[in-house]
A and B are shown apart, each in its own frame.
Chain A
Amino acid sequence: MIARRAAGNRAIVESDGSSFHRVFSEIANTPETRFGDLFATDDREDGGGFSVHAMFSIPTSPGWVEIDVALSDELPGFASLAMTYPALGWYEREIAEQFGIGVEGHPRLRRLTLPANWPRGYYPMRRDRAWNERTPFQEELDEIPALVEAPSGVVDYPLGPVRSGVVESAHYTLRTVGEELLDCALQLFYKHRGVEKRAEGLRLEHALLVAERVSGTSAFNNSLAFVRALEDAAAVEVPARGQWLRTLFGELERIYNHLSAFADLAQATGLAVAQAQFEMLKEKQLRLHGVLTGHRYLFGTNAIGGVACDLSRERIAMVRNGCKALREWLKPLEAMYLSTPSHVDRLLGTGILTPEDARLFGAVGPIARAAGIDRDLRRDHPYAAYGEVDFAVPLETGGDAMARTRVRFAEVHEAIRVVEQVCDGIPGGSTCLAGVRPSPGTTGFGWAESSHGETLSWVAVAANGTLCRYRVRPASFANWQAFAVAVPGHNILTDFPVIEQSFNLSVAEADR
């Protein structure tokens, strides 16, 4: 049974378990459609069963399609789509172990997000489980799951979770035969905190605090997606000045993240002065944020209904001067960075993500744009004030580390341009609507283009006005699956840090 309806900024298609495949394939195979997210909700308290939701972006209005699949509440299950759409592999595994929903036919249904000593049969995202329930520990089995047996002579080189720099915890098993990298197996989710569960039952302001801390370095854009979802559920329009300020801060976040990416990449190749220079530029940006918003990483800047802090005319002039200074600094640095042979040699041809693989594994953001996928939510599904400023979306087709670096440099320049346009053209008025309260029982969907790529957010508001479901799909969750296929190829062991830093993904985002 398939029903369609409209809700806020998306069209909803309701289906049951048996037609799910057909509906999904129909939409997925339509040209220009892009898969967004696949997640589950537990609606048993509201009289339903379990539901699975799939989000797609479509080229025509309203821009997004949501498939809602109702499953039974006793033994919920659906047939896996991962064989046809490899990008769905992780989404389905997460649904299976967090909700206890059966997924038949998945090629590799194993523990993904939960730790090794998690008790079997305990599904944390079900509504009858509390956030702070003390679960009994179980004997630790296969903390690092055994891989398929390697051929004789091939070494399974373990890296992590505690590594040698100031990096996030993740475990990689590099299948190598003396320098040549044959394969890379990822073991993420060491940092799984249960963010989505934490936000359940919270007041909306508190849930915003949680949304900001999904990833500290994408705090603004992740929380932007969240508050836009709430605003969609409440069906309100943020005042113009708030929209323009959102654009400004979104681009400021993009700038400092890309500067950080350049510094990390220079560290990986040993170009120490470049690393120091870009770190200095990043620190200057962070101090600017501190002056503008009171927090170096823009925590507490987004509010439900707009932006929490306003910028005076002096502050706007400060931002404008900062842009000019940044541009001056960047010009010679960029020229040298992209031509130093000892650095560039390690980037060219390293970690190639082919356009086909990028499409197959659902890559988003600058790494997808470096692999020939021309997509940017700011341009394709404009939000905040992006529809009113002029900017270009860079595109490269090489897919190697050099292409990703070039894309990031172009994005920094475009971001500076956008910030300047905002400083020049920002309208007056209030920055925030007061008292935005979505009605109980509503759902909302929001999105933003963070520095890592598209981040999507889906919310459901409970009867008492608190949040009853917070779903966040940050960009890195999609991109890590593409990372694993970019590592094999003609890369050697010492290329690995370069590939890792050229992707510059966030583990905290993916693990949540």
Chain B
Amino acid sequence: MKLGWLFRGLRTGVVTTRYPNSLDDELAGIRGIPYIDVTAGHDTACEKTCAQSCLSGALRYDESSRVLELKEEACIMCGLCAKACPHDAVAMSSDVELAVLKQRVRNDVNRLFRRSLHLRHVDAGSCNGCESEIKMLMSPFYDLHRLGIFISTSPRAADGLLITGPVTRAMEAPLRRTYEATADPKLVIATGACASTGGIFAGGSLTHEGAGAVLPVDVTIPGCPPTPIALLHGLLLALGRARQRAGAR
């Protein structure tokens, strides 16, 4: 019986993605952040319906400076803005590698963790979508371990935290305790729109505005949920092995 599984595995062959070297069809069809064509009637006839249709506050129109801002971290990629715009000025791209470096990671930390990073995952109130994507990271298609990144079993053995969810009030204290239980130096990576900014649950009486409201966050990875490719990009960004592609902070 054991041999049956062995042969099954061998017959399946290698299916691992070649990311970050190249991408095949891992992102085929996936909705990414919206691209806004600012020339198409923005100043004159634009009623800013896109900003009104954004529930998570990613698209915002600043009256004073008359600028339409897209905060990628909060975008849940629902596509309502694209549907709402009467001028077809908004279209959904397939851009998902949106991780943002919130604070410069110290050089020595970078060197320490560059080739070997152990993260402790904390679910601070997610909808389980982010957890599912993180679990997919460890599947043969993405194989997180080949990049030297592991999910550790205890914060004591971890180099950092991987946080999902907007940090509900009930999970605030356990999250803090997990942070205290991890030895310095450590990284904090907030995964998903909820952990980055609170997502559509930001500012509730039962939720915080993401992990950044409770702990110092090093990297945020937007998405709802962020696809495994987006997660890989964010993790490599934290290790200094990838470049940030999201807008300037």
Physical contact A–B (CB less than 8 Å): yes
From B23-31, B58-66, B105-113, the one touching the partner chain is B23-31
Query: Once bound together, how far apart are the Cα atoms of A191 and B29, in whole Å?
Result: 31
A274 to B, closest residue via Cβ: B5
Contact of B78 among A117, A167, A286, A299 (CB under 8 A): A299
Query: Once bound together, how far apart are the Cα atoms of A442 and B127, in whole Å?
Result: 29
Considering the complex, which residues of chain A in the window 168-208 have a beta carbon less than 8 Å from any beta carbon of chain B?
Answer: 168-169, 189-194, 197-198, 202, 205-206
A86 contacts B by Cβ under 8 Å? no
Nearest CB in chain A: distance from B192 CB, A: 9
A392 contacts B by Cβ under 8 Å? no
Q: Which residues of A contact B28 (CB under 8 A)?
A: 287, 290-291
The answer to whether residues A167 and B139 also contact, given A287-B25, A295-B31 and a CB cut-off of 8 A, is no
Query: Once bound together, how far apart are the Cα atoms of A279 and B78, in whole Å?
Result: 26
Q: Which residues of B contact A389 (CB under 8 A)?
A: none
A276 to B, closest residue via Cβ: B140
A131 contacts B by Cβ under 8 Å? yes
| Chain A contact surface mostly | loop
B126 touches A124 (CB 8 A): no
A507 contacts B by Cβ under 8 Å? yes
Query: Once bound together, how far apart are the Cα atoms of A219 and B127, in whole Å?
Result: 9
B11 to A, closest residue via Cβ: A332
B29 touches A190 (CB 8 A): no
A117 touches B139 (CB 8 A): no
Q: Which residues of A contact B197 (CB under 8 A)?
A: none
B171 touches A132 (CB 8 A): no
Considering the complex, which residues of chain A in the window 286-317 have a beta carbon less than 8 Å from any beta carbon of chain B?
Answer: 286-287, 290-297, 299-300
Query: Once bound together, how far apart are the Cα atoms of A216 and B225, in whole Å?
Result: 8
Q: Which residues of B contact A210 (CB under 8 A)?
A: 55, 200
Considering the complex, which residues of chain A in the window 405-448 have a beta carbon less than 8 Å from any beta carbon of chain B?
Answer: none
The answer to whether residues A167 and B123 also contact, given A193-B207, A273-B9, A294-B92 and a CB cut-off of 8 A, is yes
The answer to whether residues A291 and B29 also contact, given A213-B200, A214-B127, A276-B139 and a CB cut-off of 8 A, is yes
Query: Once bound together, how far apart are the Cα atoms of A274 and B80, in whole Å?
Result: 40
A191 touches B165 (CB 8 A): yes
Query: Once bound together, how far apart are the Cα atoms of A166 and B171, in whole Å?
Result: 16
Query: Once bound together, how far apart are the Cα atoms of A286 and B225, in whole Å?
Result: 12
Q: Which residues of B contact A279 (CB under 8 A)?
A: 135-136, 138-141
Q: How many positions in chain A have a CB within 8 Å of any CB in the partner chain?
A: 75
B6 to A, closest residue via Cβ: A273
Nearest CB in chain A: distance from B93 CB, A: 11
A300 touches B79 (CB 8 A): yes
B204 touches A191 (CB 8 A): no
Considering the complex, which residues of chain B in the window 143-184 have a beta carbon less than 8 Å from any beta carbon of chain A?
Answer: 151, 153-155, 165-166, 168-171, 173-175, 177-178
Query: Once bound together, how far apart are the Cα atoms of A339 and B4, in whole Å?
Result: 11
Nearest CB in chain B: distance from A236 CB, A: 20
A299 touches B224 (CB 8 A): yes
B128 touches A168 (CB 8 A): yes
B135 to A, closest residue via Cβ: A166
Q: Which residues of B contact A143 (CB under 8 A)?
A: 173
Query: Once bound together, how far apart are the Cα atoms of A310 and B153, in whole Å?
Result: 43
The answer to whether residues A194 and B206 also contact, given A162-B174, A215-B127, A280-B140 and a CB cut-off of 8 A, is yes
Q: Which residues of B contact A297 (CB under 8 A)?
A: 129, 132, 225
Query: Once bound together, how far apart are the Cα atoms of A161 and B136, in whole Å?
Result: 22
Q: Which residues of A contact B238 (CB under 8 A)?
A: none
Q: Which residues of B contact A166 (CB under 8 A)?
A: 121, 131, 134-135, 138, 151
Query: Once bound together, how far apart are the Cα atoms of A118 and B169, in whole Å?
Result: 9
A140 contacts B by Cβ under 8 Å? yes
B140 touches A287 (CB 8 A): no
Q: Which residues of B contact A283 (CB under 8 A)?
A: 136, 139, 141
A115 contacts B by Cβ under 8 Å? yes
B126 touches A194 (CB 8 A): no
B203 to A, closest residue via Cβ: A132
B205 contacts A by Cβ under 8 Å? yes
B18 contacts A by Cβ under 8 Å? no
A164 contacts B by Cβ under 8 Å? yes
25 contacts between A and B (CB under 8 A): A117-B169, A124-B205, A130-B205, A133-B205, A162-B174, A166-B134, A167-B131, A191-B123, A191-B168, A193-B166, A193-B207, A194-B205, A198-B201, A206-B80, A216-B127, A216-B128, A217-B128, A217-B129, A217-B132, A276-B9, A279-B135, A287-B26, A290-B227, A299-B78, A340-B5
Residues of B bordering A, CB below 8 Å: 1-2, 4-6, 8-9, 12, 15, 25-31, 53, 55, 76-80, 92, 120-136, 138-141, 151, 153-155, 165-166, 168-171, 173-175, 177-178, 199-201, 203-207, 224-225, 227
- The 4 residue pairs across chains A and B that have the minimum distance between CB atoms: A216-B129, A279-B139, A115-B170, A164-B153
Known: A202-B55, A294-B79; 18 extra A-B contacts, CB below 8 A, are: A118-B169, A131-B205, A165-B121, A167-B131, A169-B123, A190-B168, A193-B166, A194-B204, A197-B204, A213-B224, A219-B129, A271-B5, A279-B140, A283-B136, A287-B26, A290-B29, A339-B1, A507-B128
